[in-house]
Amino acid sequence: MKKYLICSLLTLLMACSGTKQQEKNESPAQPDYTAHHIPAIIEVFDAHGGFDSWTKLKTLSYESGASKTLVDLQNRYTKIESENQTVGFDGENVWVYPPSENADQQRMRYNLMFYFYAFPFVVGDPGVNYEQGEPIVLDGKTYNTVKVTYNSDVGDSPNDSYIICSDPETNQMHWLLYNATFGGEASDRYNLIKYEGWQNVGGVLLPGSLQWYRYADGMVGDPRGGATAFTNVQVSEEYPDMENFEMPEGASVAGSPGEN
């Protein structure tokens, strides 16, 4: 009987140990960040390589004009280097170096170009709402539309809204209508950008250039200045070195909209 009890205890201990080891090796269930995506936006994501492909990426870098931009795509840490100034976001502060009296202006501007550049994927995050709209005619061609809005607690400008205009045959995004409130009240006045030169970078399509156009009463007007081109575009599934985003000693810190 004693021998039987010892064997039973050993068997029980081994079973418990195996269960704990199994639990240790199992990754905790991750929330589904794509549950709010509607079919219309999924079609657009898929036409650009798929949202899953985008979320695997950790680093994006590119050059535009005289500046170089580095972004941690998972946390949105950012560093923009130009000849006379560097602007960064370390997850808490937007900083400017050398220090500047106009640092507060960078709070809304530091990631503006990245945000436009990373469409449509950049609006795949939680807290974003989608509405399939009526087709729209731009420059003589009909496009499908998806309107994008935000929950009231998302970002510094939750009143911003966007309308993605995609080719009905390919579902590729050609135009973006947007109204940027910069923390102000919502508006029904939209600006217009044309996306061109889509290129496959690391499995996702990213634009080669953005061209702003005048837009009023549903009509596309003349280009507004020259196109903004993006070169030396690189992505990686590895995280960038966090030292890139650390605020230098003596840098100015940009205040949030509520502080100005």
Residue 25 confidence class, pLDDT cut points 50, 70, 90? very low
| Domain contains 250 | yes
What local confidence, expressed as pLDDT, does residue 11 receive? 38
What local confidence, expressed as pLDDT, does residue 103 receive? 76
Which range has the worst mean pLDDT, 117-126, 175-184, 202-211?
A: 175-184
| End-to-end CA gap in the chain | 80
| Domain contains 17 | no
| Domain contains 31 | no
Residue 106 confidence class, pLDDT cut points 50, 70, 90? confident
Secondary structure (3-state) at 36: coil
| Domain contains 79 | yes
| Domain contains 30 | no
What local confidence, expressed as pLDDT, does residue 111 receive? 87
What local confidence, expressed as pLDDT, does residue 100 receive? 81
Which residue range forms the structural domain that includes residue 132? 39-259
Q: Angle CA(50)–CA(54)–CA(58) in degrees, nearest 5?
A: 165
Which range has the worst mean pLDDT, 73-82, 148-157, 220-229?
A: 148-157
The total number of structural domains that make up the chain? 1
| Domain contains 100 | yes
Q: Please write the tens of the pLDDT for every residue from 167-179.
A: 999 999 999 999 8
CATH of the domain at 117: 2.50.20
- Average pLDDT in the 204-224 region? 96
Q: Which helix (H) or strand (E) holds 71?
A: strand 67-72
| Domain contains 150 | yes
Q: Which range in 10-14, 17-21, 153-157, 220-224 is most confidently predicted, on average pLDDT?
A: 220-224
Which range has the worst mean pLDDT, 2-6, 126-130, 196-200, 244-248?
A: 2-6
Secondary structure (3-state) at 78: strand
- Exposed / middle / buried, residue 192 (Cβ in 10 Å: 0-12, 13-18, 19+): buried
Secondary structure (3-state) at 191: strand
| Domain contains 34 | no
Residue 3 confidence class, pLDDT cut points 50, 70, 90? very low
Secondary structure (3-state) at 40: helix
What does the mean pLDDT of the chain come to? 84
Amino acid (one-letter) located at 215: Y
What local confidence, expressed as pLDDT, does residue 158 receive? 62
State the pTM of this model.
0.81
Q: Angle CA(218)–CA(47)–CA(181) in degrees, nearest 5?
A: 40
